[in-house]
Structure 1
Amino acid sequence: MPKNSKISVIQKITSQANQTFNNIPSSGNNVDNKVFVEQQMELVSLLSQITAADLNIAPPKKLSASSKQPPSAPVTYMHICETDAFSMGVFLLKPGASIPLHDHPGMNGMLKVLYGKVDIRCYDKLDKAAGAEAEHERQGDAVSRAVLRSSGQFSAQSDPCVLSPAKDNLHEIDAVDGPAAFLDVLAPPYGPDDGRDCHYYKVLQTAGRKEQSEEDEVWLLEIPQPDDFWCGGEPYPGPQVSV
C-alpha cells in the first residue's frame, strides 16, 4: 500500500474485528477476558465513527406514485467480507420492513445504523421451566422462557447495539418512518454445520398483556421463517477490505 494512501474506516473496522474475534476464549466467558473486552471496546469505538458516506451508500430515492416496480425483497444484504472468525455486511430495510425475532447461537454481534431509524428489541432465553414448557413439548411446540432485556430506537447518531452469546442474543429489528440501513458484524458467522443455524421466534402474549416492559418474562415459540420475510442481495459499493 502506498505510504500516502488513506486507510478507510471500514478497513480499520475489518482489521480490528480480526484482532478482536480471534481473541475469543474457547470457554465463551468473554466478560472475564480482559484482552477480549479491551479489543471489543476499540471495535465499538471504530463502529461509532462509520457513516453511510464511508460505504458509498445513501437512502433510496422516492419513487413517483405512477412508477411500477416488480416486487422485491423487504430486506437486502450487501456482503463485505467473511472469515472463520467473523462476517460483516450491510442490511438495507425498506420502509415498514422488519427482520423477525431471531437468535445468534453462541455468537457475538454488533449493529451500527448508517441511515434511517430502527426499533430493536432484545431478548434472552432463561433456564427451562418444567411446567408450561414441558406441556408445550408434549404438544409438539418448541417453546422457551425468555425475558425482554432491552428495547430502544437507534439512528445514525446512536452508539452500536451489541449482543453476546449470553446477553441480548435474540432480537427483532423494525424500520421506523422510512428506509434504514445498518452495518452488521457477527462473530463467528452463522454456520449450521457448527450448530449456529438461525432460528425464528414468535412472542406469546401472557396474562392478556399486550405491551411488554424491559425485564418482563415471556414465552417464545420457535417458528419457521415467516412467509413475509426474505432477504435479497445487492452489490456492496464501498471500499474493498483486506482480511
Structure 2
Amino acid sequence: MRPGDRTMSSLVQRIARQALVTFRSPEPGKSFVENHGKLKSLMTEVRAADLKLVPRRADDSPAGGAPPPHRHRGAPPVTYMHICETDHFSMGVFLLKSGASIPLHDHPGMHGVLKVLYGTVRISCFDRPDPPPAAPPSAHPGALRRSVLRSTGEYTEDSGPCVLSPDRDNLHQIDAVDGPTAFMDILAPPYDPDDGRDCHYYRVLTEAEAEPDRTERTDQEVWLMEISQPAEFWCGGEPYPGPEVCL
C-alpha cells in the first residue's frame, strides 16, 4: 500500500484488500490467524453508510429483477449486490425482506465472514459432530447427515461479525427478524460447483422422522436431510451503490 492510501481508500476497499491477503494463503498458522483477525476487525467497523445503503422499510420492494414467471410471482424475498470476486474470495451484500429467510445451507471447504448492516438477523449454525456419527437411520439411507446445532443468535449492526470455517459453523440458516435487513458477506473461496463447492440445502428432521424407534437423544444433535432449493426461496440481483473496489 502506498503512503496515504489508507486515508484515501474507502473502508470497503480496505476490507477487500485484507480479504485478499487473508485468503490468498488460508492454510492454518500464525499468519492466517493474524490476517483473519485484521479482517474481522475491519468488518466490525462497516456500516450501511459505508456502502451507501439506505435501510429499507417493511413495505419497500427490492430493485432486483423479477424471477422466471413459471416459478415465482412478485419481487424476490432476497436480493444480492455483487461487490467483487477473485479466485480467492467473493464479497457482496444480501438484502432480506421482512420475514424472509435464507434456508439452511452449507459452504463446502469455505471460510465466511458475515456482518449485519441494518436490521436484525437470526443465525442458526450447525456442524458435523465430533466424534463422527453412526450410520444414518435405515429409513433414510444415504440421505441424511448427523449434525450439531452449535449456536443460535441474533445479530444487528452493533454486533461483531458471524464467522464460519470449513470445520466450524459451516451450515447455517439466516432469518430476517422484525423487518428488512441487510448484511455484507465474504466467502472464501467462492462457490464453484466444478471444484466441489456447490451449495446444498437441508431440512432439520423431527425426532420421529429421523429415528422413530429411539426414545433418547443427545441435546442439540439432529439429523439433516438434503433437499432441493426450497420453492419459497429465490434470490434476485440489484446494483451495488457503494464505493468501487479495485484489486
Using structure 2 for the length normalisation, give the TM-score. Answer: 0.85
1:1-243 equivalent positions in 2, closer than 5 A: 6-25=8-27, 30=28, 33-61=29-57, 63=59, 71-126=74-129, 127-130=132-135, 132=137, 134-137=138-141, 142-206=143-207, 216-243=220-247
User: Structure 1 pair 79/103, CA: closer, same or farther in 2 (3 Å)?
Assistant: same
AA aligned opposite 2:170: N
**Counterparts of 1:215 and 1:24, CA distance in 2:** 33
User: CA shift at 1:61, angstroms?
Assistant: 4.2
- Could you tell me which runs of 5 or more consecutive residues in structure 1 were left unpaired when the two chains were aligned: 209-213
> What do you get for the CA RMSD once the two structures are aligned?
2.2
AA aligned opposite 1:242: C
**Counterparts of 2:56 and 2:163, CA distance in 1:** 27
**Counterparts of 1:171 and 1:3, CA distance in 2:** 39
**Counterparts of 1:77 and 1:2, CA distance in 2:** 34
- Is the partner of 2:43 in helix, strand or coil? helix
- Is the partner of 2:8 in helix, strand or coil? coil
Q: Is the 8 A contact 2:22 2:39 kept in 1?
A: yes
**Counterparts of 2:10 and 2:84, CA distance in 1:** 15
| Counterpart position of 2:63 | none
User: CA shift at 1:116, angstroms?
Assistant: 0.1
User: CA shift at 1:130, angstroms?
Assistant: 2.0
Deviation by residue 1:7-31 (Cα, 9 ceiling, x = unmatched): 1000000000000001212xxxx3x
| Counterpart position of 2:215 | none
Q: Is the 8 A contact 1:23 1:35 kept in 2?
A: no
User: CA shift at 1:215, angstroms?
Assistant: 6.0
Alignment length, in residue pairs?
Answer: 224
- Is the partner of 2:182 in helix, strand or coil? strand
Q: Is the 8 A contact 1:149 1:215 kept in 2?
A: no
Q: Is the 8 A contact 2:57 2:180 kept in 1?
A: no
**Counterparts of 1:145 and 1:239, CA distance in 2:** 42
**Counterparts of 1:220 and 1:3, CA distance in 2:** 50
User: Structure 1 pair 63/122, CA: closer, same or farther in 2 (3 Å)?
Assistant: closer
Q: Is the 8 A contact 1:121 1:151 kept in 2?
A: yes
- Is the partner of 1:130 in helix, strand or coil? coil
User: CA shift at 1:63, angstroms?
Assistant: 4.1
AA aligned opposite 1:9: L
- Could you tell which deviates more after superposition, 224-233 or 120-129? 120-129
**Counterparts of 1:87 and 1:217, CA distance in 2:** 31
Q: Is the 8 A contact 2:84 2:91 kept in 1?
A: yes
